[in-house]
Amino acid sequence: MKKQIQNKSFFSLSLVFLLLVFSFVFLPFSWRQMANALTNYSKSSGDSLDATDWNNLDNDFLATDGSNTMNSGANIVLSGGGNIKGLPDVPANNNDAASKAYVDSIVGGSANITNTSGENLKMVCGRTDPGATNWIEGSPSWYVDVDISGANFTEGSMPYIFTSLGGYGNEWISRGATSISATNPSTLDNLDDMFRIYIIVDDGSNFSTFKAKGWYINWCAIGK
């Protein structure tokens, strides 16, 4: 009888041992992984994770519930073209990350300039070359064609154009510098690429005198 009890005890212990070995070797989350973590996880090269470290993993991993933060100066590096997703529509603080949609609304919409239909618009500004603007002599007026094709406005969109006259002096004797004309008198469709400014003076100045003043055109255009 005593021998049978001993045999049963030996069998029970053997079974428990085999179960422990099985779980240690084969189960996906097992004592084997815990032991490997304790002995092989390195906080830095050559260091092992001891029992104290095991209870303080918040120092090394970010919690998914947002209960801890990264150390100052730490970086998140996404290899293979990964993305950070789920950002709010509008960042709450100055140093918060911004989504692509939010950046596009600011950059693409030029600080949220819109037309009466609510469409986002962009504003582009420039000027002709001071002292070397390509004025064309006419009678009694002179004109210059201003190329704005670099703004890449939508073809046929007719942007809003605002102009002023600059130069080395006597600009006040002119008129017409804020009046926008199409380069093709039969259509306005090309205003997204180019416009024309006619000016005239009332004091009898000739064209050479006028050009010597280095007059040029400042312009800003707003459109799609």
Residue 218 corresponds to which tokens in the numbers above?
């400042």
| CA–CA separation, 142 and 140 (whole Å) | 7
Does residue 216 have a pLDDT over 90?
yes
Contact (CB, 8 A) for 144 and 217: yes
Residue with tokens 């006259």: 165
pLDDT of residue 3: 47
61 by Cβ neighbours in 10 Å (0-12 / 13-18 / 19+) ranks as exposed
Q: Phi and psi of 66, rounded to 5°?
A: 75, 20
Q: Which CA distances in Å does 162 have to 43, 78, 180, 191, 220?
A: 63, 46, 8, 12, 5
| CA–CA separation, 192 and 175 (whole Å) | 24
Does residue 164 have a pLDDT over 80?
yes
Average pLDDT over all residues of the chain: 75
Pairing of strands 136-137, 142-147: antiparallel
Does residue 15 have a pLDDT over 70?
no
Does residue 32 have a pLDDT over 60?
no
Contact (CB, 8 A) for 146 and 195: yes
pLDDT of residue 211: 78
Contact (CB, 8 A) for 177 and 217: yes
